[in-house]
């Protein structure tokens, strides 16, 4: 098992692939996102996350925030006496503890994300932090790549280009990736390590406290309320900030609107767009060469940010993932792919279209129907259509249409069989789809026991979504004609068998006088409906002929048995 970790500047998260699905793990409070904050007590005690954040009010000097900014630097942090990787290790240890508690097993391996612009020293420091926390770092993954994985962009075509706009609490970066043989390459990245949601909190805070005397130790309350207002304005058009007794006697109440915030943050957003411009320039691409633009980082929840980015890139931006969970989710997917846990997902895969073979009259005979969970197998017995047939052609088909010609042919082969009268041969055909979606077709002549096995090269599971959709909608569109053609074909096959048999029964004098009229009328009706092509009418006529000749057919069987018995007894 390998876990995926987003070791962020302001927040961190951990996930694992469970039953083929990537999930983020929540702590005891049910929170999947943990503040990247560590408090080091004088006595050596350590607290991480929300607990450490609470210490900010009482013991700010011993609280470390945004340690990621220091990664790779050869420094000892003031007041704390620790290196940045040692502090990061505490965050990782806490995440590891949460994961082990949730999973109920030891966690030893991790994929950890870093910004695309991190240099070797910063990456090495991150790896070291992992090792200090007791984690073997299976891979250091670029954050924009993780985001692209979370958005499922690895399924885009080769050479697809995506832009990842990541605006978090304290940092911003824009990365342009290009898909190369299933792996994302960084084409360009540009950012600002001093641009993030914290700036907005500070802006609201100074707007709020303008002209007021605020004691230094109360400042965190203003910041907290400012952040609350900012978040609220992502959904609401106005919010009232309240800070009771901020200086012991006075209270503050002030309403801020979305428009106020938009005006305040215009320049701040423009700074991020300048980085986008630079990155686009460095990549040498024009805007219309991008296949997707995705947003990550909590600050991209701000409507003004979304609008500005969409306008800059002149396209719709994908915001379908939780902006603050996307990177951890992508790291988890990467971890799952590396450990093999993600591949198990194939087990839950289903056949997108039905699979079968062509039978008499050009009909599709389904062996495995659409949406069957793989791996799976199914089989059926078939017989010869003509006397002394030497071989049977097996056409493997995929699709939802009733007639073989309207489905896709996946493969074709022949089975040799013993020469027998029509309808006497027995050929078993079995379809087997393994966990990788490979279809194996086995055909066996039960008389000789000889097998013919072929593997179908094109996948029975990986079918282009658009093609599946087209096939399914064609089957719906043609449902009536298709069904009527099947009914007609089946009835005609039956009629082709019945008519000569009826002739023989009549010639052998097995028909009684009172039956003759009905039989002759039924024969006439079958021939007429067959010529007219009316499916249901033919079906009814065939049924009529079948029941009209039932008694005579029974007499034929009886006679044949008597003859056989006489032969056996030598009479």
Query: Among residues 227 and 445, whose Cβ is nearest to ligand AMP?
Result: 227
Query: Among residues 197 and 352, whose Cβ is nearest to ligand AMP?
Result: 197
Query: Among residues 115 and 356, whose Cβ is nearest to ligand AMP?
Result: 115
CA distance 58 to 65: 15
By CB under 6 A, residue 299 contacts ligand AMP:
yes
Place of tokens 């770092």: 137
* Beta-ladder partners of 382: 427
Q: Which of 161, 301, 401, 486 binds ligand AMP (CB under 6 A)?
A: 301
The answer to whether residues 24 and 13 touch, using CB atoms and an 8 Å cutoff, is yes
The window from 177-185, 227-235, 337-345, 547-555 that contacts ligand AMP (CB under 6 A) reads 227-235
The window from 216-224, 228-236, 490-498, 554-562 that contacts ligand AMP (CB under 6 A) reads 228-236
CA distance 358 to 407: 10
By CB under 6 A, residue 227 contacts ligand AMP:
yes
By CB under 6 A, residue 84 contacts ligand AMP:
no
Q: Which of 86, 143, 173, 324 binds ligand AMP (CB under 6 A)?
A: 324
CA distance 354 to 362: 16
By CB under 6 A, residue 321 contacts ligand AMP:
no
Query: Among residues 297 and 356, whose Cβ is nearest to ligand AMP?
Result: 297
Query: Among residues 221 and 426, whose Cβ is nearest to ligand AMP?
Result: 221
The answer to whether residues 210 and 226 touch, using CB atoms and an 8 Å cutoff, is no
Q: Which of residues 198-217 bind ligand AMP (CB under 6 A)?
A: 198
Q: Which of 112, 208, 302, 367 binds ligand AMP (CB under 6 A)?
A: 302
Total number of residues shown for the chain: 571
Least distance from C-beta 8 to ligand AMP, angstroms?
5
Is residue 495 classed as helix, strand or coil in its secondary structure?
A: helix
By CB under 6 A, residue 231 contacts ligand AMP:
yes
The window from 224-232, 428-436, 530-538, 557-565 that contacts ligand AMP (CB under 6 A) reads 224-232
Give the number of residues in contact with ligand AMP, rule: CB under 6 A. 19
Query: Among residues 84 and 297, whose Cβ is nearest to ligand AMP?
Result: 297
Query: Among residues 165 and 382, whose Cβ is nearest to ligand AMP?
Result: 165
The window from 218-226, 229-237, 283-291, 534-542 that contacts ligand AMP (CB under 6 A) reads 229-237
With a CB cutoff of 8 Å and minimum separation 6, the contacts of 295 are 165, 166, 167, 305, 306, 309, 317, 318, 319, 323
Query: Among residues 193 and 459, whose Cβ is nearest to ligand AMP?
Result: 193
Least distance from C-beta 64 to ligand AMP, angstroms?
16
Least distance from C-beta 167 to ligand AMP, angstroms?
8
Least distance from C-beta 476 to ligand AMP, angstroms?
42
Residues 552-571, mask of contacts with ligand AMP (x by CB under 6 A): --------------------
The answer to whether residues 298 and 273 touch, using CB atoms and an 8 Å cutoff, is no
The alpha carbon torsion through 181, 183, 188, 190 (nearest 10 deg) reads 160
Least distance from C-beta 36 to ligand AMP, angstroms?
8
Give the per-residue SS3 of 345-400. Answer: HHHHCECCCCEEEEEHHHEEEEEECCCCECCEEEEEEECCCCCCCCEEEEEEEECC
By CB under 6 A, residue 298 contacts ligand AMP:
yes
By CB under 6 A, residue 230 contacts ligand AMP:
yes
CA–centroid distance for 3 within its chain = 19
Least distance from C-beta 303 to ligand AMP, angstroms?
9
- Residue in 221, 218, 225, 220 with CA at minimum distance from that of residue 204: 225
In our burial notation (b when 16+ CB lie closer than 10 A, e otherwise), range 103-118 reads eeeebebbbbbbbbbb
By CB under 6 A, residue 197 contacts ligand AMP:
yes
Query: Among residues 13 and 137, whose Cβ is nearest to ligand AMP?
Result: 13
Q: Which of 3, 5, 8, 280 binds ligand AMP (CB under 6 A)?
A: 8
Least distance from C-beta 376 to ligand AMP, angstroms?
43
Residues 114-153, mask of contacts with ligand AMP (x by CB under 6 A): ----------------------------------------
361: how many CB neighbours lie within 10 A of its CB? 17
The 8-class DSSP code of residue 21 comes to E
- Residue in 1, 302, 326 with CA at minimum distance from that of residue 153: 326
Angle between helices 535-548 and 550-569 (to 10 degrees): 50
The window from 148-156, 225-233, 499-507, 550-558 that contacts ligand AMP (CB under 6 A) reads 225-233
Least distance from C-beta 99 to ligand AMP, angstroms?
19
With a CB cutoff of 8 Å and minimum separation 6, the contacts of 409 are 395, 396, 397
Which residues are identified as catalytic? Answer: 6, 68, 143, 166
Query: Among residues 10 and 351, whose Cβ is nearest to ligand AMP?
Result: 10
Edge-first strand order for the sheet with 450-456 is 376-382, 427-433, 439-445, 450-456
With a CB cutoff of 8 Å and minimum separation 6, the contacts of 571 are none
By CB under 6 A, residue 437 contacts ligand AMP:
no
With a CB cutoff of 8 Å and minimum separation 6, the contacts of 406 are 364, 399, 474, 478, 482
Contact residues for ligand AMP, defined by CB under 6 A:
8-11, 168-169, 196-198, 227, 230-231, 234, 297-299, 301-302, 324
């Amino acid at each position: 098992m390998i876990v995926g970790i987003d070791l962020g500047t302001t927040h961190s998260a951990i996930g694992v692939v469970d039953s083929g699905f990537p999930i983020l793990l929540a702590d005891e409070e049910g929170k999947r996102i943990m503040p990247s904050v560590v408090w080091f007590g004088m006595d050596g005690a350590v607290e991480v996350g929300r607990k450490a954040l609470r210490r900010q009010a009482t013991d700010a000097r011993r609280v470390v925030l945004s340690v990621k900014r220091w990664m790779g630097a050869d420094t000892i942090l003031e007041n704390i006496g620790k290196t940045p990787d040692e502090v990061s290790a505490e965050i990782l240890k806490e995440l590891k503890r949460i994961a082990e508690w949730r999973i109920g097993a030891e966690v030893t391996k991790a994929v950890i994300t870093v910004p695309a612009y991190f240099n070797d020293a910063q990456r090495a420091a991150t790896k070291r932090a992992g090792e200090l926390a007791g984690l073997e770092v299976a891979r250091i993954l670029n954050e924009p790549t993780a985001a692209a994985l979370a958005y499922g962009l690895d399924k885009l075509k080769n050479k697809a280009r995506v832009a990842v706009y990541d605006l978090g609490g304290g940092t911003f970066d824009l990365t342009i990736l290009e898909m190369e043989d299933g792996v994302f390459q960084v084409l360009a990245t540009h950012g600002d390590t001093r641009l993030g949601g914290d700036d907005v909190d500070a802006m609201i805070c100074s707007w709020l406290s303008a002209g007021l005397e605020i004691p230094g130790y109360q400042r965190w309350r203003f910041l907290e309320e400012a952040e609350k207002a900012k978040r609220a304005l992502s959904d609401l058009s106005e919010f009232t900030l309240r800070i009771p007794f901020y200086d012991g006697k006075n209270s503050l109440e002030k309403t801020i609107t979305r428009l106020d915030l938009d005006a305040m943050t215009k320049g701040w957003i423009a700074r991020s767009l300048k980085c986008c411009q630079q990155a686009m320039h460095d990549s040498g691409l024009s805007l219309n060469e991008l296949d997707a633009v995705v947003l990550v980082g909590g600050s991209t929840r701000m409507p003004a940010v979304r609008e500005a980015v969409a306008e800059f890139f002149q396209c719709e931006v994908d915001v379908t993932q939780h902006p603050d969970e996307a990177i951890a989710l992508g790291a988890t997917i990467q971890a799952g792919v590396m450990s093999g846990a993600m591949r198990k997902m194939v087990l839950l895969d289903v056949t997108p279209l039905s699979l079968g073979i062509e039978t008499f009259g050009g009909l599709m005979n389904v062996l495995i129907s659409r949406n069957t969970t793989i791996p799976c197998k199914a089989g059926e017995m078939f017989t010869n259509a003509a006397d002394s047939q030497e071989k049977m052609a097996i056409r493997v088909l995929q699709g939802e249409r009733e007639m073989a010609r309207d489905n896709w042919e996946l493969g074709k082969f022949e089975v040799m069989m013993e020469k027998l009268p029509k309808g006497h041969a027995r050929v078993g055909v079995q379809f087997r789809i393994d966990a990788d979606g490979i279809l194996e077709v086995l055909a066996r002549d039960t008389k000789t026991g000889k097998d013919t096995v072929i593997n179908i090269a094109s996948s029975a599971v990986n079918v282009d979504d658009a093609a599946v959709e087209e096939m399914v909608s064609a089957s719906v569109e043609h449902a009536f004609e298709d069904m009527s053609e099947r009914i007609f074909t089946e009835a005609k096959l039956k009629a082709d068998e019945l008519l000569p048999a009826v002739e023989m029964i009549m010639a052998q004098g097995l028909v009684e006088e009172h039956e003759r009229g009905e039989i002759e009328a039924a024969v006439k009706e079958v021939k007429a409906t067959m010529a007219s092509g009316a499916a249901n009418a033919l079906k009814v006529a065939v049924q009529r002929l079948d029941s009209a000749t039932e008694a005579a057919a029974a007499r034929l069987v009886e006679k044949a048995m008597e003859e056989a018995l006489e032969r056996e007894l030598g009479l």
